[in-house]
């Protein structure tokens, strides 16, 4: 009961703080060009892969026809290098005429006709990071209106070629300008990534009021090192970042690189699992025309997506961190979900062989009771588990085991983390008082 009241208060709090455009009550999902296709503008020699309307139409076709859209992957997002180097005679941004001969409005209707949404990229500054025209302060109103006129559904607003003072004015100004167009446009702010990602420079309360999502940290690359360093940064700073997220306002650890070249299948499951725990936006940056069936199965896992998209919108945390007392090489992550459910991820940092990790739900802070367990990637129900029963999970090197855990309807509370921000929970989450197995 107390938990329910706390949740209602939390929900009200969140409702007043989030950007008031009603969008992205769960983390946005879709496809984003950057990591996989970068600034390839060589359409003469590389027509299938260059940044052009062909690429975005191809991806829209795949999202619509290969089962992605139904799972929630609805955004088709253009990143840098789409624009002409010059604004038009009215001072408006325009797409590169050679690579987007039909124009952005046309591409938008192609995408909308398939039940999808279009995202575009801009930059709060003189130039984009790739050297294309940016949106300095005096161009914010006209660019917001241009995007709305084109029927764009989301804007990623980068921050190259501007200083801290300009960003402080520009990011809130763009939020206002987008709202003023009357078109609901999801707003992704790269601002905190340019401020180092942490308070006191970053004000997460303000970000929640003006942006739907924000890049907190550096760019992802197609490698396990990159994925791991990003996950580490987010979980090392979870005390600051976790409370900042909620419906309509999300931390963004950057794109999913599952389906590219750098991750093994185990590492791909790890990225999917950790991004689901983090309530991260799920923007794939891969080639949906040639993706392997293994990668597709991971990205289309319904329960992993369901965990990511949980309507309560509470970001998860690392419960057990590797430290002097915890030498197994296994870390454990947890996320509370609606209907008293939760998710656990057992993640191996080992590089030797599958590790048999032993624990009980009680040791992982679950309260007295018996729980139904579903193994998300093995796609099977496990035997019901009492909080006191010891279990063993075998976790592959750089891999995960992910569980969806539900409690019987008559069970009152399930996890001491129900008091998410309470001191008892923080002691564990900080790793100051680790659970020794």
Residues of this chain that interact with ligand GLA (CB under 6 A) are 34, 79-80, 128-130, 158, 190, 219
Token pair belonging to 22? 């009603």
CA Rg value for the chain: 22
* Distance, CA of 76 to CA of 104 (rounded, Å): 12
Q: Which residue lies nearer to ligand GLA by CB, 190 or 216?
A: 190
Shortest Å distance, C-beta 420 to ligand GLA:
30
The CA-based angle 43-44-45, given to 5 degrees, is 95
Residue 295 belongs to what H/E stretch? helix 293-299
Residue 53 belongs to what H/E stretch? helix 53-65
What distance separates the 2 farthest-apart alpha carbons in the chain? Answer: 71
Q: Which residue lies nearer to ligand GLA by CB, 130 or 133?
A: 130
Contacts of 389 (CB under 8 A, 6+ apart): 360, 361
Which residues are bridge partners to 225 per DSSP?
A: none
Could you report how far apart the first and last alpha carbons of the chain are, in Å?
31
Residue 254: CA count within 13 A, CB half-sphere: 24
- Residue whose C-alpha is closest to residue 345's, from 323, 364, 362, 372: 364
Shortest Å distance, C-beta 128 to ligand GLA:
6
Shortest Å distance, C-beta 221 to ligand GLA:
11
Q: Which residue lies nearer to ligand GLA by CB, 81 or 320?
A: 81
Backbone angles phi, psi at 337, to 5 degrees: -125, 170
With beta carbons less than 8 A apart as the criterion, state whether 30 and 59 touch. Answer: no
Shortest Å distance, C-beta 217 to ligand GLA:
9
Shortest Å distance, C-beta 199 to ligand GLA:
21
List residues with catalytic annotation. Answer: 158, 219
Residue 6 belongs to what H/E stretch? helix 2-17
* Distance, CA of 72 to CA of 356 (rounded, Å): 34
Q: Which residue lies nearer to ligand GLA by CB, 190 or 365?
A: 190
Shortest Å distance, C-beta 219 to ligand GLA:
5
Q: Which residue lies nearer to ligand GLA by CB, 207 or 332?
A: 207
Any idea how long the chain is?
A: 437
Q: Which residue lies nearer to ligand GLA by CB, 51 or 178?
A: 51
Q: Which residue lies nearer to ligand GLA by CB, 130 or 313?
A: 130
Shortest Å distance, C-beta 161 to ligand GLA:
11
With beta carbons less than 8 A apart as the criterion, state whether 417 and 365 touch. Answer: yes
Give the β-pairing of 117-123 and 75-77.
parallel
Q: Which residue lies nearer to ligand GLA by CB, 24 or 129?
A: 129
Shortest Å distance, C-beta 216 to ligand GLA:
11
């Amino acid at each position: 009961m107390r938990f329910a009241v706390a949740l209602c208060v939390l929900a009200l709090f969140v409702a007043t703080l989030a950007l008031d455009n009603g969008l992205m009550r769960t983390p946005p999902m879709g496809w984003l060009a950057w990591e996989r296709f970068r600034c390839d503008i060589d359409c003469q020699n590389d027509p299938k892969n260059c940044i052009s309307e062909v690429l975005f139409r191809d991806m829209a076709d795949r999202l619509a026809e290969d089962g992605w859209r139904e799972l929630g992957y609805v955004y088709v997002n253009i990143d840098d290098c789409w624009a002409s180097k010059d604004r038009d005679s009215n001072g408006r941004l325009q797409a590169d005429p050679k690579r987007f001969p039909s124009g952005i409005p046309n591409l938008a209707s192609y995408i909308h006709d398939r039940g999808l949404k279009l995202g575009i990229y801009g930059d709060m500054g003189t130039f984009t990071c790739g050297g294309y025209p940016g949106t300095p302060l005096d161009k914010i109103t006209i660019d917001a209106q241009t995007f709305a006129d084109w029927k764009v559904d989301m804007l990623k607003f980068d921050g190259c070629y501007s200083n801290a003072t300009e960003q402080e004015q520009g990011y809130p100004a763009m939020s206002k300008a987008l709202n003023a167009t009357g078109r609901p446009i999801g707003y992704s702010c790269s601002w905190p990534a340019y401020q180092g990602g942490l308070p006191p420079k970053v004000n997460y309360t303000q970000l929640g009021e003006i942006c739907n999502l924000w890049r907190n940290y550096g760019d992802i690359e197609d490698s396990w090192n990159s994925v791991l360093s990003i996950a580490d940064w987010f979980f090392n700073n979870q005390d600051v970042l976790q409370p900042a997220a909620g419906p309509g306002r999300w931390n963004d650890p950057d794109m999913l690189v599952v389906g590219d070249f750098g991750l093994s299948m185990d590492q791909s499951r790890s990225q999917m699992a950790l991004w689901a725990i983090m309530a991260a936006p799920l923007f794939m940056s891969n080639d949906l025309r040639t993706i392997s069936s293994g990668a597709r199965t991971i990205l289309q896992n319904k329960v992993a997506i369901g965990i990511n998209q949980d309507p309560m919108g509470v970001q998860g945390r690392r419960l057990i961190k590797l430290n002097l007392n915890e030498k197994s090489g296994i870390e454990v992550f947890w996320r509370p979900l609606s209907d008293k459910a939760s998710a656990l991820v057992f993640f191996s940092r080992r590089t030797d062989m599958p590790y048999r990790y032993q624990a009980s739900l009680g040791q992982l802070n679950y309260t007295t009771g018996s729980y139904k367990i579903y193994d998300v990637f093995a796609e099977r129900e496990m035997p019901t588990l009492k909080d006191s029963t010891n279990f063993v999970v075998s976790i592959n090197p750089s891999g995960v085991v992910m569980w969806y855990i539900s409690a019987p309807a008559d069970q009152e509370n399930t996890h001491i983390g129900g008091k998410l921000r309470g001191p008892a929970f923080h002691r564990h989450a900080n790793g100051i008082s680790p659970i020794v197995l």
